[in-house]
Structure 1
Amino acid sequence: MKTPVTVLGLGAMGTALARTFLAAGHPTTVWNRTPGRSPELDTLGADRAATAAEAIAASPLVVVCLLVDDTVRSTLDGLDLAGKTVVNLTNSTPDQARATAERVTAAGAQYLDGGIMAVPAMIGGPAAFIFYSGVEEAFEKHSGDLSVLAKPAYVGADAGLAALYDIALLSGMYGMFGGAQHALALISTEQVPATSFTEQFLVPWLTAMLTSLPSMARELDNGPADTAGSNLAMQAAAYDNLVTTAQAQGVDPRLLAPMGELLREAVAAGHGDRDLSGLVDLLKTPAG
């Protein structure tokens, strides 16, 4: 028999997790603060618990997917977690994950924190992956169970690391989308069709630029290399054109302005001969 699992929280993501465990043959107990949520799980064979305590008692593996960290705390605190493996897939910060790990460990359970890199429709599919951090023994024991949800990636014993990886990737995503949104705003001021511009030019351009990321990472790990392309001084000198054009086209430059400020700061600090990797260290330097 496959490992029985409990899923706490039946929002869109929690429901997708429970559905995927059921499809993979895991006896699955579900609980939600609002009774009766996701009734389709009942027809798929889920056991619905009346309380969180009853749900936790039903399975050795407890997967938590609630709205926010405060809800995780109010749900788990005071319950009998002894001998359980608690996997918290609620979006959180690294410090919140570490605090939850302390409470869960004190209650006698092993703790894994997770960062889901997927939307609900991707759960159980080949493109989804989930970061895990915390007790390595617990990950090794349940990696096969967790792999039905998405490709599992264990990133370390520090319970906060999965959240840090998650937030880092989301930060990169939002930065990329912000630049793309600004580009589309510019183009739309002259009635250029957004679809053709995006498919013919924006996506290929961004894809090509992404190939520079590994070399940037190598410089961070191994130290600066000779700058083969445009250094920061050259980029800072030309960057004003981006802001000036946006303003002239009636587009708010709020998404562009911080990068320009950072470029000028880097040049003023004597890093004008570096490439864009030089900005990373500047971001880590405390102000003042």
Structure 2
Amino acid sequence: MTQHPVEKTPVTLLGLGAMGTALARTWLTTGHPLTVWNRTPAPAKALAADGASIADTAAAAVAANTLVIVCLLDDTSVDDVLSGTDLSGRDLVNLTTSTPAQARARAEWAHARGARYLDGGIMAVPPMIGVPETGGYVFYSGSRELFERHRRTLAVPTGTTYVGEDPGFAALHDIALLSAMYGMFAGAAHAFALIRKEAIDPTTLAPLLADWLTAMAPAVHQTADHLRTGDYTSGVVSHLAMQVAGTPTFLTTAEEQGVSPQLLTPYFELMRRRLTEGSGEEDLTGVIDLLVR
């Protein structure tokens, strides 16, 4: 019996920054015909040696294939690059970082131009692309049918996680996770600042810090359950009143160590405010209600 190779979906990619180039190389190495365009030609020329077709214009690149991936600097760049381009009949997958509102508006913009639309939020850095064991993935939202149609092709560079028909949900999940990441970085920065003037090697603190943050991470599941049920006292071990009572020690230690408390005080202030408005038997979930305007 004759074996027929599986035909690989042709891809058009607009934008060859560090992330775009990493995406391009994975599609090329797995045999997907690839047409690329970049505002400056050098990155495209580097990919030509690996088999990429270079389009002279963004419009020509879009015309080359049905599946069009956009990975540009920002939402304004998408306007600049695709303005006046015929998108009718195209499957437009936008991996450009944007806000949820921008993603929803971009979906309407694409539909008005005859394109099907899928938005993406990349949870990876370029070195993670094409390396499955690093755990990177992309959030996708918008047309479920469109996602399923191109799932295998989209999964070539990194994992895929579909989060809903609302085009803004990928961007929202992306920013939510990254916001938590920066909060973690802020706490780690304060921790390292506390020992900065002491005879403590930061490389000895680092594994202790990493292990502690890992141990605390599952607390997000209890927080999610509290938000779902509305009961902020279920399963609480360290209640709000006790934690607020302990905050002066953190602030005094910072003062003794000559460290600004500016990364901690906003959260501590919210904790104290919640204690006055809520119940001391809660955990910290009530702080979330204070943040929602």
Q: Tell me, yes or no, whether TM beats 0.5.
A: yes
Structure 2 residue 196 is the aligned partner of structure 1 residue 212? no
Offset of residue 227 of structure 1: 4.7
1:195-210 to 2 correspondences below 5 Å: 195-199=203-207, 201-210=208-217
Structure 1: runs of 5 or more not aligned: none
Match of 2:140 among 125, 132, 138: 132
**What is residue 244 of structure 1 aligned with on the other side?**
252
| Residue pair 2:22, 2:127 contacting (<8 A) in 1 also | yes
1:48-67 to 2 correspondences below 5 Å: 48-67=54-73
Offset of residue 78 of structure 1: 1.6
Instruction: Select between 267-276 and 141-150 the one with higher mean Cα deviation.
Output: 267-276
1:68-79 to 2 correspondences below 5 Å: 68-79=74-85
1:237 and 1:67 map into 2 onto residues whose CA distance is 46
| Residue pair 1:73, 1:100 contacting (<8 A) in 2 also | no
SS at match of 1:253: coil
SS at match of 1:133: strand
1:270 and 1:211 map into 2 onto residues whose CA distance is 24
Q: Which amino acid in 2 is paired with 1:27?
A: P
Match of 2:269 among 261, 269, 272: 261
C-alpha distance after superposition, 1:198-224 (max 9, x if no partner): 11x111111111122212211111232
1:154 and 1:270 map into 2 onto residues whose CA distance is 36
**What is residue 98 of structure 1 aligned with on the other side?**
104
Offset of residue 226 of structure 1: 3.2
Q: Which amino acid in 1 is paired with 2:215?
A: A
SS at match of 1:113: strand
Between the aligned residues of both structures, percent identity stands at 55
**What is residue 287 of structure 2 aligned with on the other side?**
279
2:203 and 2:288 map into 1 onto residues whose CA distance is 33
Structure 2 residue 196 is the aligned partner of structure 1 residue 188? yes
| Residue pair 1:246, 1:252 contacting (<8 A) in 2 also | yes
Q: Which amino acid in 1 is paired with 2:262?
A: R
Offset of residue 23 of structure 1: 1.0
Structure 2 residue 37 is the aligned partner of structure 1 residue 37? no
| Residue pair 1:60, 1:84 contacting (<8 A) in 2 also | yes
**What is residue 17 of structure 1 aligned with on the other side?**
23
Q: Which amino acid in 1 is paired with 2:94?
A: N
1:79-90 to 2 correspondences below 5 Å: 79-90=85-96
Return the TM-score normalized by structure 2: 0.94
Match of 1:151 among 156, 159, 169: 159
Q: Which amino acid in 2 is paired with 1:117?
A: M
2:81 and 2:270 map into 1 onto residues whose CA distance is 43
1:272 and 1:60 map into 2 onto residues whose CA distance is 57
Offset of residue 38 of structure 1: 4.8
SS at match of 1:6: strand
Offset of residue 179 of structure 1: 0.3
C-alpha distance after superposition, 1:150-183 (max 9, x if no partner): 1111111110000000000001111011101110
Q: Which amino acid in 2 is paired with 1:122?
A: M
| Residue pair 1:5, 1:62 contacting (<8 A) in 2 also | yes
Aligned residue pairs: how many?
284
1:226 and 1:115 map into 2 onto residues whose CA distance is 34
| Residue pair 1:227, 1:273 contacting (<8 A) in 2 also | no
